[in-house]
A and B are shown apart, each in its own frame.
Chain A
Amino acid sequence: MNKGVAVTGMGIISAIGNNIEENYRSLLASNSGIGCSEFLKTTHTNIPVAEIKIANETLSKHLNLSKNHSFTRAALLGSLAAKEAIEQAGIKIDDETGFISGTSVGGMDATENHFKEFVAGKADNKRFIRSQHPGFTTEKMAEYFGITGFVSTISTACSSGANAIMLGARMIKAGKLKRVIVGGTDCLTKFTLNGFNALMILSNNPCRAFDEHRNGLNLGEGAAYLVLEAEDILNGKPVLGRLKGYGNANDAFHQTASSENGEGAYLAMQEAIKSAGITPGEIDYINAHGTATKNNDLSESRAIQRIFEAGIPDFSSTKAFTGHSLAAAGALEAVYSLLSLSKQEIYPNLNFSQAMPETGLKPVTEVKQKKLNLVLSNSFGFGGNCTSLIFAKDEA
């Protein structure tokens, strides 16, 4: 019997709160984190973003870092979230503790700030030269927690965090690790804001996932991590939930756009359901990718319709709370899925009013109490990378 891999700790920082408790309160109160950028120095001040309203200096103080540290913003956010997860799980870091982090642009914030200096040959901030590469951000975090064993970074754009969680579970199942910290982190950067803006998929208003009049996503930032532990070391420790299934597939359709029938999403969900050893009808709720772009939401809706032929489960996208935090999205939403399971409630899809005519699907739009045993969480990214995770309530 597939019990699933135990989650014993979780931590989060997002535009709707600096820890699990604050995030939970915001979800319950429908408080969105989308607003104007204050810390991201961009000329696009009219584009709404979901920013964490804390300066790097303050974040560094929270972590007691020395003055000349080389933590990128993604490493700062990541360390705070991982710290909460590690403390909750009460684990001791040892040789058999791994760390797998997803990040899309890593320390691009430092690169874009110092790029001109480096081009001019100025070496004052040379400690940030390697920070551009995602592995550097992960390594800084590993250093902070004293993790010396298996450390790796996954970068599959917006499905990175979900893939990191999947890999961690696979390593525990294969007996390669006893415990592993998994999740993702990404901060707001000019690089990504301008990239998505040039692609014309950013909305000028708070995003409206799955709505007929949805017109794009809001970029966000954040980090979330889970602690996964092997069965034989649990010793009666409280289990927050279990990762029961996962699926990874490629849409193989276009570098950035999703296929019309959502083939990659369909295959990822199908594989996740198969690996969990369940039937589609047993899924009680879907935390959808739901970015609120025309393309994603239609493609994902079609894939959901194909998988859940016998009846569509309750679903919602929480992107209108946190914005789309890229690599962190899958990790943030894993935390929300686990919160849904432990509180037995579904958090709403904000700003929805009218179903798209192609599918007629309506998400959950208000906090809903419901018996939940199995939650499916979707994350899809550029490069056709699609990943679905299935979390289960612990049956202890």
Chain B
Amino acid sequence: MNLQDIYQEILLAHNENPNHFESMSDATHQSYGNNPLCGDEITIFVKIENDIVKAVSFTGEGCAICKASSSLMTDTLCGLSLSDAVDKTQKFIQLLSDESIQVPNDLGELEALLGVRKFPARLKCATLAWHTFLKATADEHR
């Protein structure tokens, strides 16, 4: 367990200046997610047009890991087809939760979040945005 694994520069930067940290007036989907034990709470906004995720943004309050993960998620999912976005989200949640899963080599910046695999108490912080994205778009992929 190493502190640098979890508080990487890249995450601290996303926490300080998160991307797409705003509400979205023309969102087609949105959902609220929270971690009742710790107080992280975010709202995820999604705009889907012709089955393409045109835009993702978020608002709310949370710890550095929660905020950085939300910011990275908005970067990752923008522009994907809805089914690819859902697939990517589900796989990433699994990857964070299960240390035995081999790390794919196309993660890019998301790799910085893998440190939470050694900090199980922080897993919920890292996955909140992703779960909330699935919740927001649940009607489309159920």
* A is bound by B: no
